[in-house]
C-alpha cells in the first residue's frame, strides 16, 4: 500500500492539532474533571471493545508504551490500574490535554508524555523493552506505518513483550458505505475516499485500511496471537453530535444478536494482539 507515502508528517500533525481525537466528546468546559469523565464515558460506551483489548488491570506494575495517546483516555486508565506509562503523540495540542488530565486525576507521576514522530520513535524515546506496546487507531494515520512497526520491533521489545493495536478494517461496513455514499462506486479512488471520510473531522491526510492478511504483512517481526473485528457505529449522527444516543434505522430494526454478528464480520476496527517472532 503506497497511497500516502508522499504525505509529509507535518500535514498529519496539523490535522490532529486542529481537532484532537475525541476532543468533542463532551459539552463540558474542556480540561475540567467533568469534561474528562464525560469523554471517557462516551468513548467506552460507543466502543466497549477498547477495555477488552487494553485489559488495563493486567499491566499493573508493568511498563506500557502507548503509541498515539491522543488526549489520554486509555493512558489514564493504564496508570490508574498501576502501570508505568510512556505515552507518545505527534500532536502537542493533544498532549497538553493529556498532561492536564493526568495531573487532574493524580497519576502524573506514573506517566511520561513525549511529543514524537513514531516513524522515528527511537530518536525521541530511549530504546528499552516494554511489557506492553499499545496503539489504538493510530499507526494507520502515519504515511509509513511499516516504519513504526520496525521501530517498535527493533528498539522496544523483548521476547515477552505484547503488541496490542487497532487498525481500520478494509472489508468493513464503513468502507462500503463510504464507497457508495461518498464515492458513488469509484473503487479506483477508494484509499483517498476512505482517508477523507474516516474521521469526525473530514479531510484526514492519511488513513490506511487493512485486511487480516495485510495486517499480518504489516507486522513484520511479530506473530499474531489473536485478532478480532468489532464496531459498526449504530447511532444517528445528527443526534449523536448533540449527545443523544438514537440508533439509526438499520441498527434499530436489526436484532441485537444479528447486529453483533455483523460487527464481528464487518466492523471498522481490526484489533490485533501479537508477540515478537
Q: And the C-alpha cell for 180? A: 457508495
Q: Where are the alpha helices (DSSP H) in the chain?
A: 9-18, 33-46, 49-54, 73-80, 92-104, 145-155, 173-177, 190-197, 212-218, 237-240, 249-253, 256-266
pLDDT tens digits in sequence order for the chain, 277 residues long = 468 999 999 999 999 999 999 999 999 999 999 999 999 999 999 999 999 999 999 999 999 999 999 999 999 999 999 999 999 999 999 999 999 999 999 999 999 999 999 999 999 999 999 999 999 999 999 999 999 999 999 999 999 999 999 999 999 999 999 999 999 999 999 999 999 999 999 999 999 999 999 999 999 999 999 999 999 999 999 999 999 999 999 999 999 999 999 999 999 999 999 999 9
Residue 2: the pLDDT is 65
DSSP for 154-205 reads HHS--TT-EEEEEEEBSSSHHHHHIIIIITTT-GGGHHHHHHHHSSSSS--S
Map out the domains of the chain as residue ranges: 9-169+209-231+267-276
Local structure of 271: helix, strand or coil? strand
Least Cα distance to 50 among 25, 78, 26 occurs for 78
Secondary-structure class of domain 9-169+209-231+267-276 per CATH: alpha beta
The SS3 call for residue 32 is coil
CA dist 152 and 68 (Å) reads 13
pLDDT at 62: 98
Amino acid at each position: 500500500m503506497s497511497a500516502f507515502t508522499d504525505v509529509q508528517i507535518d500535514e498529519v500533525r496539523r490535522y490532529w492539532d486542529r481537532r484532537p481525537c475525541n476532543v468533542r466528546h463532551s459539552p463540558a468546559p474542556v480540561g475540567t474533571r467533568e469534561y474528562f469523565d464525560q469523554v471517557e464515558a462516551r468513548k467506552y460506551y460507543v466502543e466497549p471493545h477498547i477495555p477488552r483489548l487494553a485489559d488495563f488491570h493486567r499491566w499493573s506494575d508493568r511498563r506500557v508504551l502507548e503509541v498515539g495517546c491522543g488526549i489520554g483516555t486509555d493512558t489514564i486508565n493504564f496508570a490508574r490500574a498501576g502501570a508505568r506509562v510512556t505515552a507518545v503523540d505527534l500532536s502537542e495540542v493533544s498532549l497538553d490535554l493529556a498532561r492536564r488530565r493526568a495531573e487532574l486525576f493524580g497519576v502524573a507521576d506514573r506517566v511520561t508524555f513525549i511529543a514524537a514522530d513514531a516513524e522515528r520513535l527511537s530518536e525521541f524515546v530511549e530504546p528499552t523493552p516494554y511489557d506492553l506496546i499499545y496503539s489504538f487507531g493510530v499507526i494507520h494515520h502515519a504515511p509509513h506505518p511499516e516504519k513504526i512497526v520496525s521501530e517498535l520491533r527493533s528498539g522496544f521489545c523483548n521476547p515477552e513483550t505484547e503488541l496490542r493495536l487497532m487498525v481500520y478494517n478494509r472489508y468493513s461496513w464503513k468502507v462500503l458505505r463510504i464507497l457508495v455514499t461518498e464515492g458513488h462506486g469509484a473503487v479506483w479512488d477508494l484509499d483517498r475516499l476512505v482517508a477523507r471520510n474516516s474521521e469526525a473531522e473530514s479531510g484526514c491526510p492519511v488513513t490506511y485500511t487493512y485486511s487480516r492478511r495485510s495486517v499480518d504483512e504489516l507486522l513484520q517481526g511479530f506473530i499474531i496471537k489473536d485478532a478480532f473485528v468489532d464496531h459498526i457505529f449504530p447511532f444517528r449522527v445528527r443526534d449523536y453530535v448533540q449527545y443523544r444516543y438514537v440508533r439509526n434505522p438499520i441498527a434499530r430494526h436489526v436484532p441485537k444478536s444479528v447486529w453483533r454478528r455483523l460487527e464481528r464480520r464487518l466492523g471498522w476496527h481490526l484489533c490485533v494482539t501479537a508477540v515478537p517472532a
